[in-house]
Amino acid sequence: MAIKNNNKMSKLSAVPYHVALIMDGNGRWAEKRGLPRNFGHKRGIDNVQKVIKSAKDRGVRILSLFAFSTENWSRPKEEIDFLFSSFKKYLSENKGDKDIRFNVMGSRRGLPEDLISGIDEAVEETKDNDKIILNIAFNYGGRDEIVFAAKRIAEDFKEGSLSLKSLDERFFQGYLYDPFIPDVDLLIRTSGEERISNFMLWRIAYAELYFTNVLWPDFTAGEFDKALDSFKMRERRFGKV
């Protein structure tokens, strides 16, 4: 399903077409309560459903969630195993939602076979749903994605199927992970950190950025509305006057 982002047609947009979320603060949420980090992750996963509903109700068409980064492999094995099993369970329990089309963006290097199978099943079973695309970045890194694209371009050039004259920004995007996913309009990060953390580097070139001190498990529908209200006040010129 091709996606066209119409928000670029106007300086002020009422609703962002594509919202990306860096869901940060699960561990700190748990530590503040004297709980193991995995309790924070569980609470964070529970919160995902609330935010998806908020996004869907408000007309957001694509919601991208940063669930597991290529840098997260440095975490304790117990935590990684919990995140993997939780993600597989989440996909299994929610692939029957007729409003949501699942897309999983990222590398499959190192992922267990049962998780890969769960991803493929969820993507296949929801491919015709069109209310909202839930784009989950899992085992994902922005630089890794750009290198992935560069390698594919080099291979096509070596085989003679690509002319460098045809290589521009739009053409390059066609080599990224899931090129049908358009640029991000609004990037939200929770927990008070104000950095991008290697997330969707190509697609956030003109994204509006919104940072909040709220930890992800406490990020309510009301907090989501605050981010959308902030977006409404942004003047998006895309290099124009």
Among the options 5, 38, 72, 94, which is catalytic? 72
3 assigned to some structural domain? no
100 assigned to some structural domain? yes
What integer pLDDT is reported at residue 104 of this predicted model?
Answer: 98
Number of independent structural domains in the chain: 1
Active site residue 135: no
Q: Give the domain extent around 192.
A: 15-144+183-232
7 assigned to some structural domain? no
DSSP 110: T
CA torsion 87→67→61→119, rounded to 10°?
-40
For residue 127, is it left (φ>0), alpha (ψ between -120 and 50) or beta? Answer: alpha
83 assigned to some structural domain? yes
Among the options 5, 6, 7, 24, which is catalytic? 24
What integer pLDDT is reported at residue 12 of this predicted model?
Answer: 56
Pairing of strands 132-140, 18-22: unpaired
- Largest CA-CA distance found in the chain, in angstroms, rounded: 59
Any idea which residue has 């594509």 for tokens?
18
| Inter-residue contact 40 to 212 (CB < 8 Å) | no
| CATH label of the domain that carries residue 198 | 3.40.1180.10
What integer pLDDT is reported at residue 49 of this predicted model?
Answer: 92
9 assigned to some structural domain? no
Active site residue 225: no
Residues of the chain predicted below pLDDT 50:
1-4, 6-10
